[in-house]
A and B are shown apart, each in its own frame.
Chain A
């Protein structure tokens, strides 16, 4: 096995082009588990932790793929509340100190915590190779179970995610708060100016997945410009549509039926919280409602 230690992105892209079998490693929270358990013996590891440009962000936002979760929570939480909420549910403090959104995207597990937020918030993934740069919308990035749209010579460079234009929520079901792989998860992002919302499910289909019918239902039913209190019937219908967008399986973490039920509950609740926040903003209260 070779251990490749590029110091710049350009060097990393050249190495990846020459060695497409090299496995990129950043926080190591997925890759090292596979190595420790002999599940994977790559010909080479490509260490991305020495490349400064992957560990920075710029306004707009363009977040380097190597920014650890802890910095998203501590430093970007005000601009990206949904991503910060999802990041807070990742592993433990030690894992959040190391793990990165780029790693979540690289592993492309259907249960990855940040995926529903990226989908619901119209994130775009920037990938690069010596051939150039591609911008891939999140909903074209996940192509199968633990498979993404990367070509063998490409690396994930950044995530483009605009600061929240409205209330965002994230919810996840697991057996405890820490160290939990999602049984299922859900994210919602309101775009009041555009009179619409994004919604997506995690750990409930072969890939993280947008709930398109549920999004269209909200856009056609709700008045985002002058919001009224939500009718229970709207919340219920939204929950139903989110649940129907999923195609979960029975596995060790939960049954398909449970996941469908839980998704409907999470969708109802998170819509309620987000809408309450919007009502507060529009009516000058600005209060954040709880459960």
Chain B
């Protein structure tokens, strides 16, 4: 089937999409956006987190056809040209990135948190990132990064 979807502000079209395919597969394999990562494929790890109509979701749990005529924003759509989003900058500066696999999902989840709650408490940060697994950092540097990004708003 054909799926028409707005991705990072641009109207895109994907053809020959299998009806049981996930939005994540379509983004990575058909639309050339490998930023969202594919790991657990069951909503456990959060590394495929994207905005769907401004709401963060696991792209692996959205059927590609459900995104038809809707708007998706991936981690690739956060930066303004060469200028990183403040959340991305804070992740770099705080050392919140090690292997980097979980980073796109965490960046989108943190970005959404700071849009909703400009100065989140630590429990609010932990709760907001509870659906994103990181096996490298032990999370402390990630929490630092979110606090840093919040302090600069």
Which A residues are closer than 8 A to B by beta carbons? 1-3, 5, 25, 27-29, 31-33, 35-37, 41-42, 44-45, 47, 49, 91-95, 97-98, 177-179
Contact = CB atoms under 8 A, between A and B. Distances in A.
Contact of A3 (B42, B43, B65, B130): B65
Given A3-B1, A91-B43, A94-B49, A32 B19 contact: no
Interface in B69-116: 109
Nearest to B58: A94
B134 interface: no
A97 B116 CA distance: 14
Q: Which of A35, A36, A44, A178 has the most CB of B within 10 A?
A: A36
B128 to A, nearest CB: 6
A94 B20 contact: no
A130 B42 CA distance: 33
Q: Which of B60, B62, B66, B132 has the most CB of A within 10 A?
A: B66
Given A93-B109, A98-B61, A1 B131 contact: no
Contacts of A2: 19
Contact of B66 (A25, A37, A44, A97): A25
A2 B1 CA distance: 9
Interface string B109-126: 100000000000000000
Contacts of B19: 1-3, 44-45
Contacts of A25: 63, 66
Given A47-B63, A94-B49, A37 B41 contact: yes
Given A93-B56, A93-B128, A95-B131, 7 more contacts: A5-B65, A28-B62, A28-B63, A32-B60, A35-B63, A94-B56, A179-B131
Contacts of B60: 32, 36
A81 to B, nearest CB: 19
List 3 tightest A-B contacts by C-beta distance, closest first.
A92-B131, A178-B130, A1-B19
A71 B60 CA distance: 22
Contacts of B56: 93-94, 97
A241 B128 CA distance: 37
